[in-house]
Structure 1
Amino acid sequence: MQLSDSTYSEITTLCKQGDALVEAGDLDLGKQKYISALRLLPENHREWEAATWIYVAIGDVHYRLQNYDKAFKCFFNAVQCPKRLGNPYIHLRLGQLHYEQENFEKAADELTRAYMGAGIDIFMEDDPKYLEFLETNIEI
């Protein structure tokens, strides 16, 4: 299934605006742009590929705000959408969120998946504690 060109264009415009706002430090307004984009998807929005990256964007905002429960829900929703399996970035965030919730077994599993999919570079922009934790679980 594909979105209409006009709906897809509107969604991508809102997400680009959200990205710019988040990059400028206005996380709440950026999140509102992403939510507006999500609302443009037809019913059963989890069936649309766009929902995957919109949920990731919203989840990232919550992660940066240290709203780990909300971030986890967003990333959990993202894995219910198309093209999510094997996505190293989604596995990275899920691993980090499991770590923050002290669910270390699942954290190790998800962080390993991120490492296997993208290598060590995927860990370089975040707190080194996640890579240090992973190094206690697998040989890097």
Structure 2
Amino acid sequence: MLDKPLNAQSEAVWFQTSVADALFMLGEYDKAYPYLCEARSNITGEGYTDPFVMLRLGQCSYELGKEDAAEYLMRAYMLAGEEIFECDDEKYFELIRHLI
């Protein structure tokens, strides 16, 4: 069990990201998004520098029509390169291709 506050524990990043990933796979983007925002804002900094967190946050933002989708997808690209997009729909990479 994780102690509170969650945003002060690096373990919470993995927990929140795992929950968000499961929700993303179910197409529940609106439910996944808050978990990813929490992971991103973890004060340990591990969420903001994790390419998978940035990828899923960008993908959820894209699916929800949020303007910050390209920002997060670009962060994922900068942290992990084009390879991080290989297993997902190419529409996500296409959103940032012109920025590279």
After TM superposition, is the score higher than 0.5? yes
Q: Do residues 74 (structure 1) and 74 (structure 2) align?
A: no
CA contact (8 A) 2:36 2:57 kept: yes
Q: State the match for 2:6 in structure 1.
A: 45
Q: Whose Rg is larger?
A: 1
Task: Report % sequence identity.
Answer: 36
Q: State the match for 2:74 in structure 1.
A: 112
| Local SS of the residue matching 1:125 | coil
Q: How far 1:80 sits from its partner (Å)?
A: 2.4
| Local SS of the residue matching 1:41 | coil
Q: Please say which of residues 45-54 and 116-125 is displaced more in the overlay.
A: 45-54
Give CA deviations for 1:67-102 in whole Å, capped at 9, x if unaligned: 001100110111122212221111111111111011
Counterpart among 23, 33, 49 of residue 86 in structure 1:
49
Mind listing any 5+ residue stretches in structure 1 that lack a counterpart? 1-39
CA distance in 2, matches of 1:127, 1:110: 16
CA distance in 2, matches of 1:131, 1:43: 36
Mind listing any 5+ residue stretches in structure 2 that lack a counterpart? none
Counterpart among 124, 130, 134 of residue 86 in structure 2:
124
Q: How far 1:54 sits from its partner (Å)?
A: 0.4
CA RMSD of aligned residues (A): 1.2
| Local SS of the residue matching 2:68 | helix
**The structure with more helix, counted as a fraction of residues:** 1
Q: How far 1:109 sits from its partner (Å)?
A: 0.8
Equivalent position amino acid for 1:71 in 2: A
